[in-house]
Copies of this chain bind each other. A is one copy, B any other.
C-alpha cells in the first residue's frame, strides 16, 4: 500500500451494505472527484449488457463527472426495465448527497446475473458511502476491496508522470477473477488522474490502453455482461497535448497492463500465469487471434496445470485459430526451450520441460511465424480443479 501514488482531489469509500451473503464483506464503493473531471469509458461488447453499462455508456464521454458508484455481488444484468431504473437510482442517490446532476455520476456493478438489485440496501448504503468518502490509501483500499467478487486480493497500479505542466499522478484499481474474456472481461477498472485531459483525448487514450491490456487477457473467454473501465481526469489548466499527451498515453497503458496482468494471475483457481507471445504474423490482429485461441484452449490450460509439456496442444490451437499458415511457417519455444522448428518436432528433455512448468509461476510460450511483422502478447492462466470448484457452485 505504501508504494501507491495517489492522484490528487479524489476520495474513496468502500462499505458493507449487506448485498453479499458473507457478513462484514465490503460490497459498495463510491469514488468522488472534488472537482469535475473529464471522463471516458470502455464497456463490454456483449449484446446482453447490464443496466449500469447502458446507463454509464450514454453518459460518456463527458467533461464534468463527479463520482462513480459500484456494487459487487449483484450484476444488475438481465434485469429488464426495473434494472435500468435501479441503476439510474444508484447514481441519483450519490448526486443528491453531492448536490450534482445524476448524469454526472457513473455506475458499475459485478456479481450474479438475473437477480433484481435489493434496492432497500442500496437506498440506505449509497448515502452512507458517499458521506464516508475520504482521501488517502486506506480509503482507496476499502474501495478496491468493495468491488471484488471471487478475487483473492485487490489490484492497484499507479504511476507518477513528470510533464511540462508539472507532476501528475495516475491511480488505477480493478477487479477480475473469472468470466474473463477479451474485449474486456468480467472486470471493472477505475483509472484516475489529476492531469488535465480533454474528454475526447481521454477516450482515445483509454481505448488504446484497453486494447493492449484488458483485451489481451482471458481466463475462459466468456465475455461478461458488465465489463467497464472508466478513466477520469480532474486536472485544470490547459489539456495535455503533443509529447505530454503521448507520455500520458504510455503511462495509462502501463497502469492498465499491470492491472490486466494482476487479473490473469489472480484468476479463479489459477496456479500459473501463462504468457503467450506471437510474432511474425501478417498483422497484429492476426497475432492476437492466434494468441487468444491458444489462451482459451482448455487443453493447453490443463496441460500447464499438470506440468505436462504437451506442446502439440499449443500448435494445434494455433492451427484452428482461423489464421492461414503452413506448418513450415511455425516454430515454438517454451521458456527458452525450442520444441518445434519450421514444422518439425525437435528432440527435447521432457523432464526438464515438465520441471519448467512445475517450478515457474509464470510460464512462457513463444510462437514465431514467417508471415510478416504482426505481434501480440497475451496473458491467461491455467485451468485447475479450483476453477471448476469455484464455478460449479457460484450462485447456490
Q: Which residues of B contact A307 (CB under 8 A)?
A: 396
Pair A298/B391 contact, Cβ less than 8 Å: yes
**New contact pairs (5) apart from A113-B310, A354-B396, CB-CB < 8 Å:** A113-B316, A114-B315, A222-B313, A302-B392, A308-B393
**When chains A and B are docked, how far (Å) is the Cα of A44 from the Cα of B319?**
10
Main secondary structure of the interface of A (DSSP, over half): loop
Stretch at the interface among A133-141, A203-211, A321-329: A321-329
5 closest residue pairs by CB, A with B:
A113-B312, A306-B392, A48-B319, A223-B320, A302-B391
Task: Render A156-196 as a binary contact track against B, CB cut-off 8 A, 1 for contact.
Answer: 00000000000000000000001101010000000000000
Residue of B nearest to A77 (CB): B312
Q: A residues 234-270 with Cβ under 8 Å of B?
A: none
Query: A318 at the A/B interface (Cβ < 8 Å)?
Result: yes
Query: A345 at the A/B interface (Cβ < 8 Å)?
Result: yes
Query: A333 at the A/B interface (Cβ < 8 Å)?
Result: no
Pair B392/A316 contact, Cβ less than 8 Å: no
Q: Which residues of B contact A345 (CB under 8 A)?
A: 78-80, 114-116
Stretch at the interface among A63-71, A95-103, A124-132, A382-390: A382-390
Interchain nearest-CB distance for A227 vs B (Å): 10
Pair A222/B80 contact, Cβ less than 8 Å: no
Most buried by B among A44, A75, A303, A350: A303
